[in-house]
Amino acid sequence: MLLSLVGGLVLGAAAMGAVWALSADGASVDGTSAVSDARAACRALDGFDEDRYVEKGAAGEIAVNRYAAAGTLSASAAAGDAKYKPLAQTIRRSQDRHSRMFEFDATAKKDLNQARTMCEKL
């Protein structure tokens, strides 16, 4: 009886490990993955309007939070898979530039456009 129980546990663990290892995008048990973080970053960036960043009220808050979310989610994607590092670095560069200049100048907008182009290829 004990031997059957141990055997069942070993087989179950092996099967679960095999399914996890063979999953197409490296998704973890809770359904998250680097690719899903990258796509979420791109969705946040897609909904981000830099012209609304300084607006008072809900529109400004939405812009601020989407911009921050794009940076955080792209960094998470890069931590999970190095192929998303260029996306994270590009978004971070635009954020750094914005924090230094207090506006979306041509350089910050160039990085945003580059990140959006990267997102189109995901």
Count other C-beta atoms under 10 Å from residue 13's C-beta. 10
* Per-residue pLDDT at 1: 52
Average pLDDT (73-92) is 98
* Per-residue pLDDT at 8: 41
Q: pLDDT band for position 11 (50/70/90)?
A: very low
- pTM of the predicted protein model: 0.74
Q: Burial, 92: exposed, middle or buried (Cβ in 10 Å; 0-12, 13-18, 19+)? A: middle
Distance CA 77, CA 108 (A): 21
Are residues 119 and 35 in contact, defined by beta-carbon separation less than 8 angstroms? no
Q: pLDDT band for position 93 (50/70/90)?
A: very high
Alpha-carbon 95 to chain mean position: 15
